[in-house]
Structure 1
């Protein structure tokens, strides 16, 4: 009799986990979009990547990157009136690939610091995310020979500080979600749970 109820309990847990992940992804993508609009800055992909690398699975991180990327393009083309021309379509693709690179670099940095304190892992993930994003953009700038000004020392420093502050703000939102009962498991915890 007890075994008849196990599949139902398992599916309810899965639905609950999926619901929590969807709330988390939606909240972080919304915070990212609103922050970009309020500060009149680009989507903070390094901040999102560092947050995802330290809190959710790679799959959920990729979903977050895509949702934030899609929201940024919608705002750009609908609100700001970016032209629908082939030349203007290259940069959205470049940003998308750089965002993925940012997430992978953040994950690598976090994994390489697995035995350190959580704050150090978060800091390392952010540095990795920023470096990965900038290297991705640099690749496209080199290919297109356009956008070199974004790599001046003052702009890089300003972006590093701004994205770092946004990362800290998003971490505070993450903490608030956790306090409200929205808990998401990182890759490490997900692997441990599946192995148990």
Structure 2
């Protein structure tokens, strides 16, 4: 599993104005949270974080280096300025090897479904799932092969094979992929409709008698 390494530096208690000045210098204020410890206030280098920000997911482990002291953490939240979108603050949650965590992991579909090749449309409504595991078994993503998925069939989360040590938290009956036809498949006539059609095509008793009579006179 991919890890991302970031250097952080200590941050003392600063006023809003002082924090604003630090942001102008390219330093982003951040907080590291963990059970049983006091929150740790730090700075991140803005350019360094910007280089990896797009790759970071909720389930990706981030190795924080605070003056030689290492912390394994997950990204908790990024606070941004409403109008400009500039980053104001970043929060991290520390990982502990002796505790299980719950985290949302991306769900990726691989392959082209048989139903799509037959003209159906794939509806993929769930793009991430919540799982529980320890940090050593934390998956970066969950991949599902949908090659054999046929039209008018669906896949449920209970059918997903999870890695060892990973437990599904999201409702297992949740449908995450289904193949549908845009205008529906042609419907087969029911037995009643079929019988009615046969009766409409078959000659009546009177018509049969008239036909027989004409044949005799000829």
Shorter-chain TM-score: what band? Answer: under 0.3
TM-score, with normalisation over the residues of structure 2?
0.24
Return the structure number with greater helix share. 1
Q: Which has the higher contact order (CA 8 A, sep 6+)?
A: 1
